[in-house]
Amino acid sequence: MKRIFPLYLITFIAFCGFAMIIPIFSTLIIDGNSALFPKHLDLGQRTFLFGLLMMTYPLGQFFGSPILGALSDRYGRKPILLYSLTITMLCYFVIGLCIELTNPRLLFLILFIAGFFEGNIAIAQSSISDISPAELKPARFGYTFSVASISFIVGPFYGGRVAELISIPAPFYIVGLLLFLLLIYLFFGFEETHPPENRKQVHFLQALTNIRHVFSDRKLRRSYIISFFAAMVFFGFLRTYPSYLVAHFNLDISEVSDMMAYSNIPMVLTMLFLLKPLIRRYSIKMVGAIAALLLAPSILIFLYFHSFDAMFVTIIPLMFFLAFSGPVTTALVSERAGEHQGRAIGNYVSLMVLGQALASLILNALAGISFYVPFLIVVAFTLLNALLIYLLPAPAEG
């Protein structure tokens, strides 16, 4: 566990940094009181700018994850981690300066660069795969998603409180400082998990085009498709859920934050305590197919009993089954990747990021028609994924 802890720490800080961006910039842009953007813009223009700004970060991750993953296959996990974290650290300092200097153009560029080099999350997952026996991979990937879930509680809470008590740029400077301390810790305390004898030659142009393996790699193609649909399900619900809370129950920011924190509890508990014993007793394929199948009626029950009080009960089984999406798909890709773990996990992270971006954009747009529409689309996706997982060949056959 000593070798894995720094990898979880990378994931925690990375997701905390992104999670705090959302509430801070939504306030800066949409309320119209910041000098970062012209005050004469109407609400529609401000929401468009906010969406465009939020897209730059995952767009950077989409391109950065497979490239950094492939480079870590060639040069080792540790050096690529150190280089990428150094650039990410500098980006957080520059984000703070962009706010102070009211420079929105540079802000768009820096968020893209920060997202690109936050592809180091793919390297962290590859390192976990390097040092984990096959039977422990699903549980350890589950811990990664638990850390990410916790960070989406801590990040916004921390960012909002620090911005309120000190200044708006302060949270970004503090994250930059934390990344600096993490760099020192990794430099002296992290051991390489990908030894030289396991490395393969990778050309830069090859790394740039690694995403094509999502479509051309017959051994992994089905697992990639399942992962993409799982991302649409996972992020489709989690990115539409806060809007649903506000629109249907008129909750304010603190109430939505509290409800999101409460909703994450069964997900985190499932990943921490239930996933590992289930995987030991049953195959990852069986667990994933059944969880996806049972998630569909859980969402329908959540929609049917749509009172605020009932939601405290109906959200529990929904989040329990939703918790399996990430760890199951990560394990399905990893066990079929063979010696190309870095490239495969990098492509996987890119697909998850792409799914997040598309789900956030498309499903929230459809929520303008009715909130039942995006949730029913999520139900359709999860039923389709249950079937795809069930039909997925074993690694030796794929």
Residue pLDDT, tens place only, 178-201: 999 999 988 888 887 777 766 666
Q: Is residue 385 part of a domain?
A: yes
Q: Classify residue 324 by its DSSP letter.
A: T
301-335 b/e (C-beta count within 10 Å ≥ 16 → b)? ebbeeeeeeebeebbbbbbbbbbbbbbbbbbbbbb
- Distance from C-alpha of 79 to C-alpha of 108, rounded to nearest angstrom: 27
Side chain identity at residue 85, one-letter code: L
The answer on 21 and 78 residing in a single domain is: yes
Q: Is residue 325 part of a domain?
A: yes
> Which two structure tokens, joined as six digits, stand for 302?
């959540």
The answer on 187 and 82 residing in a single domain is: yes
| CA count, 13 A, side-chain hemisphere, 310 | 8
122-137 b/e (C-beta count within 10 Å ≥ 16 → b)? bbbbbbbbbebeeeeb
Q: How far is CA 43 from CA 30, 32, 36, 40, 369, in A?
A: 7, 8, 15, 10, 19
Side chain identity at residue 164, one-letter code: E
- Distance from C-alpha of 238 to C-alpha of 234, rounded to nearest angstrom: 6
The whole-number pLDDT of residue 398 equals: 45
**Residue 236 burial (10 A CB sphere; 0-12, 13-18, 19+):** buried
Strands (E), 133-263: none
Side chain identity at residue 368, one-letter code: G
Angle formed by the axes of helices 253-269 and 137-165, nearest 10°? 160
- Distance from C-alpha of 74 to C-alpha of 199, rounded to nearest angstrom: 5
- Distance from C-alpha of 211 to C-alpha of 214, rounded to nearest angstrom: 6
Q: Is residue 139 part of a domain?
A: yes
Domain final position from 182, 208, 234 = 208
The answer on 227 and 204 residing in a single domain is: no
The whole-number pLDDT of residue 210 equals: 58
- State the total domains in the chain: 2
CB 190 within 8 A of CB 52: no
Q: Is residue 119 part of a domain?
A: yes
The answer on 224 and 182 residing in a single domain is: no
Question: Among all chains, which residue has been given the structure tokens 């195959």?
Answer: 283
Domain final position from 166, 181, 208 = 208
The answer on 220 and 171 residing in a single domain is: no
The answer on 216 and 156 residing in a single domain is: no
Low-confidence ranges of the chain (pLDDT < 50): 398
The whole-number pLDDT of residue 122 equals: 73
Please tell me the pTM assigned to this model: 0.72
The answer on 359 and 264 residing in a single domain is: yes
The answer on 265 and 169 residing in a single domain is: no
The whole-number pLDDT of residue 160 equals: 73
Tell me the per-residue pLDDT of 140-153, one tens digit each, with 9 for 90 and over: 776 777 787 788 77
Alpha-carbon dihedral of residues 207, 128, 381, 365, nearest 10 degrees?
Answer: -70
The answer on 126 and 12 residing in a single domain is: yes
The whole-number pLDDT of residue 32 equals: 62
Q: Is residue 247 part of a domain?
A: yes
Residues spanned by the domain of 229: 211-393
Q: Classify residue 340 by its DSSP letter.
A: -
Domain final position from 181, 208, 235 = 208
Residues 6+ apart with CB under 8 A from 362: none
The C-alpha angle 98, 102, 106, rounded to 5 degrees, equals 45
Nearest partner of 175 among 318, 13, 302, 8, judged by Cα: 13
Nearest partner of 56 among 104, 89, 12, judged by Cα: 104
CATH of the domain at 81: 1.20.1250.20
The answer on 150 and 185 residing in a single domain is: yes
Phi-psi region of 195 (alpha: psi -120 to 50; beta: other; left: phi over 0): beta
The answer on 230 and 369 residing in a single domain is: yes
- Distance from C-alpha of 144 to C-alpha of 123, rounded to nearest angstrom: 12
> Which two structure tokens, joined as six digits, stand for 216?
């051309």
Q: Is residue 398 part of a domain?
A: no
| CA 289 from centre of chain | 21
The answer on 138 and 260 residing in a single domain is: no
Q: Is residue 268 part of a domain?
A: yes
Report the Cα–Cα distance between both ends of the chain, in Å, rounded.
32
- Distance from C-alpha of 358 to C-alpha of 353, rounded to nearest angstrom: 9
Q: Is residue 186 part of a domain?
A: yes
